[in-house]
Amino acid sequence: MRKTIVFLFCLLVALSASAQRPRTRVEWGVLGGVNVPDYSTSDDYGSIKNKLGWHLGIMTAVKVGIMAVEPQILYVRQGLRIRTADGESLNLRSNSIDVPVLASLRLLHPVRIYAGPVFTVMNDCKRKSGGDLLDFGRIRPTMSYTIGAGIVVMRHMLVDLRYNGQFRSKHDVVLPDGSELDKLRTYNVALSIGYIF
């Protein structure tokens, strides 16, 4: 009888421990949205006008308890117009592949708060001249950061807002007219809508 009670007690403890262990869940989805960029420079080069950009990509998440790791792959397009001191206007466009690797905290059920590095693995720059887009260079891979928050509504729709910043500005950026910008900084605020499957 004593052995049966000890066995049942051990079984109850084991079941209780397994029930409390956080379950691992994998989710994936798609997302897209708009970027509001802020290009700035310390050079007295001329005026910079930022253009609304957009992004589109896929997301995944490995969730364990209230934490998750969320790698994503995003195609990002941004643009700006630079008016030089002599009055010439340069329309520039940047196309990049960004890979954010986010750590997210999901303490409140529909809300998630995240931060992490963003690896830009490809960034090619073009300028508009007449009706043509001319390639004028590629920027080497860089690392930046993002912080933000999102909310899941109707179990599958994700709405999130992020601030994307740089650890340091880009030096000696050569423009299509041959001139250089010494310190070009890029920040943006991104609003995304996603669908989680």
In the chain, where the domains are located: 22-196
pTM of the model: 0.77
CA distance 56 to 75: 5
Distant-in-sequence, close-in-space partners of 49: CB < 8 Å, separation ≥ 6: 80, 81, 82, 83
CA distance 143 to 24: 29
CA distance 76 to 80: 14
- Quickly state the pLDDT bin for 89 (edges 50, 70, 90): confident
Place of tokens 């209780």: 16
At residue 65, what is the residue type? G
**Average pLDDT score, the chain:** 82
CA distance 36 to 52: 5
CA distance 171 to 11: 64
| Per-residue pLDDT tens digits for 45-59 | 567 888 899 999 999
pLDDT at 185: 75
What is the residue-wise DSSP string for 42-107?
A: SS-SEEEEEEEEEEEEEEEEEEETTEEEEEEEEEEEEEEEEEETTS-EEEEEEEEEEEEEEEEE--
- For 64, how many CA atoms within 13 A lie in the half-sphere containing its CB? 3
Task: For residue 112, give the 3-state DSSP assignment.
Answer: strand
14 backbone dihedrals φ, ψ, rounded to 5°: -65, -45
Which tokens go with 100?
A: 């954010």
142: closest CA among 125, 157, 159?
125
In angstroms and rounded to an integer, the radius of gyration of the C-alpha atoms of the chain is 24
| Per-residue pLDDT tens digits for 34-47 | 999 887 776 665 67
pLDDT at 2 over 70: no
C-alpha distance across the termini of the chain, in Å: 51
CATH number of 22-196: 2.40.160.20
CA distance 102 to 71: 6
| Per-residue pLDDT tens digits for 149-178 | 999 999 899 999 999 998 876 655 566 556
